[in-house]
């Protein structure tokens, strides 16, 4: 009897350790009040399917890492829908810090590859989901929508060296100006 209880306890502990919090990776969920299209700063229009989005999540604001694969935006409305995502390191039902990053896919297949280039990139604010879904509950929890995600924009962000070179040129012009 003791052995059976010990095996049952170990199996339960293993199952709970393997569970991860789940979220619904999409920026429009009307029932949850989420409507956060991504916009192009230059035009003010929503981004198109030429852009990609990636979910980043972690246990703290500073421990965010990519979750699952990046997805293309749908059509021309600035919306994406990447389905259910299980967040490693977040216990089932636990809180998670979330951020979404978007970029022009012509520049590369990841945000990090495109950031600092001539292609447009953007990031949402980092926000906290107080609870994720528990897929091991009975019945299993429905993945939580990204409540707290707000509209954000993409733009070309020059490398710091480009900005420094521009500042150096401006300083030289001021130094050698005619009086």
The set of residues, in sequence order, having a beta carbon less than 8 Å from that of 106 and lying 6+ positions away, is 50, 119
C-alpha closest to that of 96 among 69, 132, 123, 125: 132
The encoded tokens of residue 178 equal: 């005619």
Three-state DSSP state, 79: strand
The set of residues, in sequence order, having a beta carbon less than 8 Å from that of 7 and lying 6+ positions away, is none
Q: Domain extents for the chain?
A: 2-173
Quote the mean pLDDT of the chain. Answer: 86
Please tell me the predicted confidence (pLDDT) of residue 177.
Answer: 72
CA dihedral 101, 106, 108, 114 (to 10 degrees): -60
Please tell me the predicted confidence (pLDDT) of residue 13.
Answer: 42
For 146-171, write each residue's pLDDT tens digit. Answer: 999 999 999 997 666 655 666 677 77
**Partner residues linked to 40 by β-bridges:** 154
The set of residues, in sequence order, having a beta carbon less than 8 Å from that of 5 and lying 6+ positions away, is none
Residue 172 above 90 pLDDT?
Answer: no
For 67-83, write each residue's pLDDT tens digit. Answer: 999 999 999 999 999 99
The whole-model pTM stands at: 0.79
């Amino acid at each position: 009897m003791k052995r059976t209880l010990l095996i049952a306890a170990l199996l339960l502990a293993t199952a709970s350790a393997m569970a991860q919090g789940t979220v619904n990776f999409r920026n429009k969920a009307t029932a949850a009040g989420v409507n956060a299209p991504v916009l192009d700063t230059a035009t003010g229009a929503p981004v198109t399917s030429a852009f990609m989005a990636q979910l980043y999540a972690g246990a703290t604001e500073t421990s965010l890492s990519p979750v699952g694969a990046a997805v293309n935006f749908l059509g021309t409305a600035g919306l994406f829908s990447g389905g259910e995502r299980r967040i490693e390191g977040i216990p089932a039902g636990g809180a998670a810090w979330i951020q979404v990053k978007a970029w022009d896919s012509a520049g590369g297949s990841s945000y990090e590859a495109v950031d600092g280039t001539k292609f447009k990139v953007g990031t949402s604010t980092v926000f906290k989901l107080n609870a994720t879904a528990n897929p091991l509950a009975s019945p299993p929890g429905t993945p939580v929508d990204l409540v707290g995600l707000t509209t954000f924009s993409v733009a070309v962000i020059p490398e710091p060296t480009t900005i420094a070179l521009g500042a150096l040129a401006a300083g030289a012009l001021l130094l050698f100006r005619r009086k």
